[in-house]
Structure 1
């Protein structure tokens, strides 16, 4: 049986040697016969062993980390950077957050530590380059939590809030070109979509993407003053988000984020293509789920795309007559999306769900 101190040291060793690598952490059943497994960046730990490690980490945090002054925090940070590893102080809070992703005290300690360096940049060797490296290391730690098959971390408001804060500090000191910002946005979307797969209807993850879009819109880059910069940022994500939504059509959080993106894109053709693509998918596979049809209803009414619906539900290419809308009148008031679905059902009654016009 693993002692608490041994469990702490095992887990601390993993975080201490992580560097900038992204870990894949999973809680494993005790029936596997080992309390701790590691294969490269893939980590498996039993819940009991994690509890033991957390118990030790919490004691160390209360005795040593909580009383730290701003000077102590800065010294701790510089020791970490000079050794190119992670100081034991930081490892302690990483173990605490692995056990309890909503541990605000541990998360705020990490903020204080980063702020100590940001406020006193002149005292940091290498200044901006050192701070940029430290902030990026923090982001990879958060990605290790948010993209691992853990019970709560993928949908943790504390972790997503901390992530946007770290990114905001990074953008303040690292000069970014428009192309670099677009790459950053795509990378962050990949993190969010992975978290969305692990925890369906991940409202906090997609809220983070809205916050990121607003943050990047305000970023000091060449196109900042252009009224189209926000549209460029949004348009970049439309197709990847739709790909994900069509692969996860029951996830309302993804569809609502898709509506958010289209509302920031003045390109009508892109709106037409996006809604038409979703309509064709729903029509051809016979999809009746509420989330997808809510997206269709909201976008059609918001962007005046009724003609796209008519085009999708033509009964005959030669006659080009759309399916009658009389069957949908009764449900339009209370559940507008059901009116759209009723129209699709009328189409399927004529052609079935796999007819390709």
Structure 2
């Protein structure tokens, strides 16, 4: 039995070391998926790069990997080499797939990356698949932190950079948190974070990660070395973000973290020089970056449609606090908030 478990663990680690399209944790054991072609020789579902791992089998492999991992770690610390790195990478892969909060395993993988014995780009791909392998995996803050570390390891951070103006409240001044990433990478990270938010409702850690990505965008726009072409591309990402999150809130009216993120992005980017430049190509579209009152009217519209949702009342209150409106609009919002408050109090 132990021999079979060890063989399955080696096979899974080998598969996970390859480039995959996705990873999904399947309910049940191997027998529950025999109709899909799973056998003792191949107990995992692998089709066109999409890997399915039965959860009960994975738990058995986790126990096995937990037993071998300490010895692998000691061996690697004693003599860091390709030979000692391979079993450590294999055991830690199974550990973090089963338990993405396994800090010791993640630290071991950081060491392998730092020693150039584990490709950081491959590690980014693996962690993306693990974060979207299940609902519970999507909310693991430890794995999101690991991904932040990988991005800082791959993409340079300007050590002599300082903001020309203090960032808005809630935005970091820490240079070490702001790697300079290509726009395609920024868009990839945003897509991953939103996928995790779809899997786990009101995913605070994924929204925080999304905020961190826009801290990078804010830093890059404020960098004197950022040329006009780069600025235009980054501004387009910001504009797309605002429109996308407005739509997201329309479909997720209880997601207050999304509300906070939207207001925060409009606050930060609606007041930058970059945003002023972008107004010339917006053709006077009514968007929040140009006219923050659009957020207030958006919150009012949703609250009128769903007066029972306290999150929407908080959305409107937050927008009013950050973006003080004209007196006439403010008076209308106060009337609406009072009416909705009475409606919620009288609800059974």
TM exceeds 0.5? yes
1 CA distance for matches of 2:307 and 2:187? Answer: 29
Quick check: 1:186–1:237 contact (8 Å CA) kept in 2? Answer: no
2 CA distance for matches of 1:191 and 1:47? Answer: 23
What's 2:225 paired with?
222
Q: Does 1:297 align with 2:305?
A: no
Post-superposition offset of 1:107: 0.1
Post-superposition offset of 1:305: 2.5
1 CA distance for matches of 2:154 and 2:180? Answer: 16
Post-superposition offset of 1:33: 4.2
What's 2:102 paired with?
103
What's 1:61 paired with?
69
What's 1:197 paired with?
198
Quick check: 2:202–2:256 contact (8 Å CA) kept in 1? Answer: yes
Instruction: Report how many aligned residue pairs link the two structures.
Output: 291
What's 1:269 paired with?
290
> Are residues 286 and 33 of structure 1, via their aligned partners in 2, closer, same or farther at CA, if it must alter by over 3 Å?
closer
Give 1:99-178 correspondences, 5 Å limit: 99-117=98-116, 134-151=119-136, 153-172=137-156
What's 1:260 paired with?
264
Quick check: 2:101–2:143 contact (8 Å CA) kept in 1? Answer: yes
What's 2:301 paired with?
280
Quick check: 1:181–1:216 contact (8 Å CA) kept in 2? Answer: no
2 CA distance for matches of 1:28 and 1:221? Answer: 52
Post-superposition offset of 1:342: 4.6
Alignment RMSD: 3.7
What's 1:90 paired with?
89
What's 2:187 paired with?
186
1 CA distance for matches of 2:33 and 2:194? Answer: 33
Select 2:50's aligned residue among 42, 51, 61: 42
Post-superposition offset of 1:282: 4.0
Counterpart secondary structure, 1:43: strand
Range with greater deviation from structure 2 (102-111 or 261-270) = 261-270
**1:8-64, CA deviations, whole angstroms, 9 ceiling, x for partnerless residues?**
133223213x22x34231232237244633323333323321112112222332222
2 CA distance for matches of 1:308 and 1:258? Answer: 24
> Are residues 88 and 247 of structure 1, via their aligned partners in 2, closer, same or farther at CA, if it must alter by over 3 Å?
farther
Counterpart secondary structure, 2:290: helix
> Are residues 183 and 245 of structure 1, via their aligned partners in 2, closer, same or farther at CA, if it must alter by over 3 Å?
farther
Counterpart secondary structure, 1:210: helix
> Are residues 96 and 308 of structure 1, via their aligned partners in 2, closer, same or farther at CA, if it must alter by over 3 Å?
farther
- Report the structure number with the largest CA radius of gyration: 1
Counterpart secondary structure, 1:68: helix
Quick check: 1:249–1:289 contact (8 Å CA) kept in 2? Answer: yes
TM-score by length of 2: 0.70
